[in-house]
Amino acid sequence: MNERDDSITATNVTSLQLLQAVKGFIAETVIPALSDRNQFNARVAANVIGIVQREQALGPALSALDNAAFSQWIPDGAPDQDVVPQISQAIAKRTIEPDTAFLDYLKQRQLLLSAINNPRYANRAAAAEKWHYLDTDTNSAEDTR
């Protein structure tokens, strides 16, 4: 999806492709032209675009997971409001039993979140291997850098 389409008839440029173009510009043009703190920040900027790209791809799966957890554990919640704070508050009030089913939800959630925010975090690979039974497909948005 991120590859440039060679077909002369392709005129549409998706938002993901625009982000890829900006990331390429930062990597190829901006970073080499800067030094010190500004160069460091340009690298951070390229990484940030990677986060946005991966969130575009995996965000819907994360929302679906949170909504399903909300339905399961907070039947009397307010579905028209943000569900994640309501889940946190229910944990704080201890109205959700901290059993393995709930822990599995948190594991799946963290695999998705870390695939978005930092797929190269060392402990992520260890966690993904240990929790393979959850069968989450978080590698589809593997780092494109």
Partner 1 sequence: MGPEALAEHLNRVLEGLAIDHPIGTRVTNLTRLSGGANNETWRFTWHETPLILRRRPFSAESVENLDGNILGLSLVDEAHIIQLAAEAAVPVPHIYTVLETSHPLGESFVMAFIPGESIPQQWLKAGAFSSARKGLAYECGVALAHTHTVDCSQLPQSIKPVTLAHRFDGIQRRLEIFGDVSPAMQFGLNWLIDHAPEDVPCVLLHGDFRTGNLLVNEQGLAGILDWELAHQGPPAEDLGYLCAHVWRFGNIEKPVGGFGEYADLLAGYRSIAGWAPDLESLKYWEIFAALNWGLVCQTMGALWHNGSGDIERAAVARRRSEAELDLIYLIDAWGTL
The amino acid at residue 58 is L
Query: DSSP code of 141?
Result: G
Name the minimum Å distance from CB 21 to partner 1: 19
Other CB atoms within 10 Å distance of the CB of residue 40 = 12
How far apart are the C-alpha atoms of 47 and 44, rounded to whole Å? 5
Name the minimum Å distance from CB 18 to partner 1: 19
Name the minimum Å distance from CB 58 to partner 1: 12
Is 110 a binding residue for partner 1 by CB under 8 A? The answer is yes
One residue of 76, 100, 132, 135 binding partner 1 per CB under 8 A: 100
Question: What residues numbered 32-91 form the site for partner 1, per CB under 8 A?
Answer: 40-41, 44-45, 47-48, 51, 84-85, 87-89, 91
| Only segment of 1-9, 16-24, 27-35, 93-101 that touches partner 1 (CB under 8 A) | 93-101
| Only segment of 6-14, 17-25, 121-129, 132-140 that touches partner 1 (CB under 8 A) | 121-129
How far apart are the C-alpha atoms of 110 and 138, rounded to whole Å? 10
How far apart are the C-alpha atoms of 84 and 64, rounded to whole Å? 12
How far apart are the C-alpha atoms of 136 and 56, rounded to whole Å? 17
